[in-house]
């Protein structure tokens, strides 16, 4: 068993292909895909507990892994493009998706964690910081070059006597969060049918992917705008070829040094407290950049409340940790456009259908006394704008973001969603004990997941420098100690 790093050893590395396909497939990229053409992979880990007997290496690798492998192969038959690659041949003006039945498949790494210093129970804990680098041992690398990029890679890691994890890396230029979650749910559904020996290999309608990309039209030629934008950005960062689909790793290096990873939770009661606090001052806060005063809604969404509260806590923690200078912040978030397109595209569309938007906050809003109220009001205002102008300005969004960073603004991003239902993903061995968005360590990003208890709360994943995390934890808890 070869060693991969100090925490795990490789049991096997293989390629899993669709169960039966002799059809070559090519699909174009849409302008939504081009938004994320050279963005970092989206990396997630699903942790599952197992009885001691089932997590013994012999039993696990001889009995459970074959079912995970065979169900993955059967699932890929429904999701053929994901078994292929993004390619950009020298004679092609644009990159595209391609699946070759005799050559392609998904990289699968089987590993085992035998490091006594790694506690599976501690990994599963909330409010328990751990080295940010640890999770990187349980997610696989995603291959990419100027002319070729894998779409998905998977790593299954056994923690003897405890459980296992499934780490998945996906190329954002092919899959948004909703699509990658649909794939994992489809895989788990088929695997569970094998585990229960029901042999039901058909997928429910919402898990059967809709792959027709021609439905997404591009009358404004956003596609070329995004290609040109990536070329200009890459010329500053990695000097790569003009025709390149290589993930820009130099721009998205994980935050590892002196950083810790931690999961927090806002319960439904916490969210109601924050909502009440925001509304108590809603009419006392001027909107500034807003052209007209917003009418107070009956209630703010979990998304608005969480993003406002957590981003302000992050900003204040960073501000306190660097008291010698006043910090500037902004926040941006992705918007699902499936239902907003005309005509709308199916909910089970498999690809990218998200655009990214920066909230119209002022750089110092986050660290003001009523920062939560100000930021919540402006995030709410941006979500209301999305109903009509969800594509307004997207062709210049990356330029705007880069300009803000150049001016010293710290951009806070958002990944995940409380609507994905990741804690429902059961491969036949029970629901996940924990789900983590590992790739939040590639920037200052808030990871969102629904609470494990499915009672209306939200889990928040963060990676921060340790001294900043200590301050964040104190500010986060103190801010919830009010009636």
Half-sphere exposure of 48 (CA within 13 A, CB side): 25
164, 301, 382 from 388: Cα distances, Å:
44, 19, 11
> Tokens 């009672």 correspond to what residue?
455
Chain centre to alpha carbon of residue 359: 19
**Residue written as tokens 């509304």?**
279
Q: Return the DSSP state at 39.
A: P
Q: Which is it for the CA torsion 368, 370, 376, 381, positive or negative?
A: negative
Q: Give yes or no: 426 in active site.
A: yes
The 10 Å Cβ neighbour count of residue 339 is 10
**Token couple for 326:** 């006043």
φ, ψ of residue 288 to 5 degrees: the values are: 65, -100
In angstroms, rounded to a whole number, what is the distance separating the alpha carbons of residues 307 and 371?
Answer: 12
Q: Which stretches of 303-444 are assigned E, i.e. beta strand?
A: 328-336, 354-358, 409-417, 434-437
Which member of 11, 40, 172, 357 is catalytic? 172
Q: Which residue has the tokens 């993955």?
A: 72
Task: State the residue for tokens 């790093």.
Answer: 5
Tokens 């925490």, located at residue: 7
| Nearest partner of 367 among 311, 285, 324, 413, judged by Cα | 311
56 in active site: no
C-alpha distance from residue 296 to each of 283, 290, 378, 458 (Å):
8, 14, 12, 23
* Cβ–Cβ < 8 Å for 144, 322: no
Beta strand ranges found along 267-337 (DSSP E) = 328-336
Return phi, psi of residue 439, to 5°. Answer: -70, 0
Beta bridge partners of 43: 169
Q: Active-site residue among 336, 360, 370, 426?
A: 426
Alpha-helical regions (H) of 322-415: 371-389, 397-406
Q: In whole angstroms, give the CA distance from residue 310 to residue 325.
A: 21
CA distance 67 to 65: 5
Place of tokens 């005063």: 293
Residues carrying an active site annotation = 172, 426
């Amino acid at each position: 068993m070869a060693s991969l790093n100090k925490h795990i050893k490789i049991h096997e590395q293989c390629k899993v292909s669709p169960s039966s396909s002799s059809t070559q497939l090519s699909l174009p990229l849409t302008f939504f895909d081009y938004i994320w053409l050279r963005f970092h992979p989206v990396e997630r880990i699903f942790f599952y507990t197992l009885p001691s007997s089932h997590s013994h290496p012999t039993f696990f690798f001889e009995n459970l892994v074959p079912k995970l492998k065979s169900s993955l192969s059967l699932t890929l038959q429904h999701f053929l493009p994901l078994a292929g690659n993004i390619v950009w041949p020298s004679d092609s003006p644009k990159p595209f998706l391609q699946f070759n039945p005799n050559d392609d498949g998904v990289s699968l790494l089987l590993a085992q964690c035998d490091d006594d210093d790694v506690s599976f129970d501690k990994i599963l804990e909330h409010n328990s910081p751990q080295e940010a680098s640890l999770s990187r041992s349980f997610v696989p690398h995603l291959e990419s070059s100027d002319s070729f990029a894998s779409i998905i890679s998977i790593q299954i890691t056994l923690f003897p006597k405890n459980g296992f994890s499934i780490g998945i890396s996906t190329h954002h230029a092919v899959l948004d969060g909703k699509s990658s979650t649909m794939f994992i749910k489809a895989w788990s559904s088929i695997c569970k049918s094998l585990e229960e020996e029901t042999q039901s290999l058909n997928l429910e309608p919402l898990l059967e992917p809709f792959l027709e990309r021609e439905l997404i039209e591009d009358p404004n030629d956003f596609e070329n705008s995004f290609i040109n934008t990536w070329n200009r950005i890459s010329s500053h960062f990695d000097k790569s070829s003009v025709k390149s689909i290589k993930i820009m790793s130099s721009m998205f290096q994980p935050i590892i040094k002196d950083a810790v990873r931690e999961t927090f939770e806002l319960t439904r009661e916490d969210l109601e407290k924050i909502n009440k606090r925001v509304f108590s001052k809603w009419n006392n806060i001027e909107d500034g950049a807003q052209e007209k005063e917003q009418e107070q809604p009956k209630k703010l969404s979990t998304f608005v409340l969480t993003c406002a509260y957590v981003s302000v806590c992050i900003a204040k923690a960073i501000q306190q940790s660097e008291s010698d200078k006043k910090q500037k912040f902004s926040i941006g978030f992705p918007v699902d456009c499936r239902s907003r397109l005309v005509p709308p595209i199916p909910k089970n569309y498999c690809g990218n259908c998200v655009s990214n938007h920066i909230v119209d906050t002022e750089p110092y809003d986050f660290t003001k006394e009523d920062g939560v109220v100000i930021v919540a009001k402006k995030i709410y205002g941006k979500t209301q704008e999305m109903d009509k102008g969800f594509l307004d300005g997207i062709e210049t969004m990356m330029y705007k973001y880069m300009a803000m960073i150049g001016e010293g603004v710290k951009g806070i991003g958002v990944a995940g969603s409380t609507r994905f239902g990741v804690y429902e993903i059961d491969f036949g061995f029970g629901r996940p004990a924990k789900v983590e968005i590992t790739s939040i360590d590639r920037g200052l990003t808030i990871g969102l997941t629904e609470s494990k208890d499915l009672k209306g709360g939200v889990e928040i994943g963060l990676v921060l420098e340790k001294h900043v995390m200590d301050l964040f934890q104190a500010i986060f808890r103190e801010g919830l100690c009010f009636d």
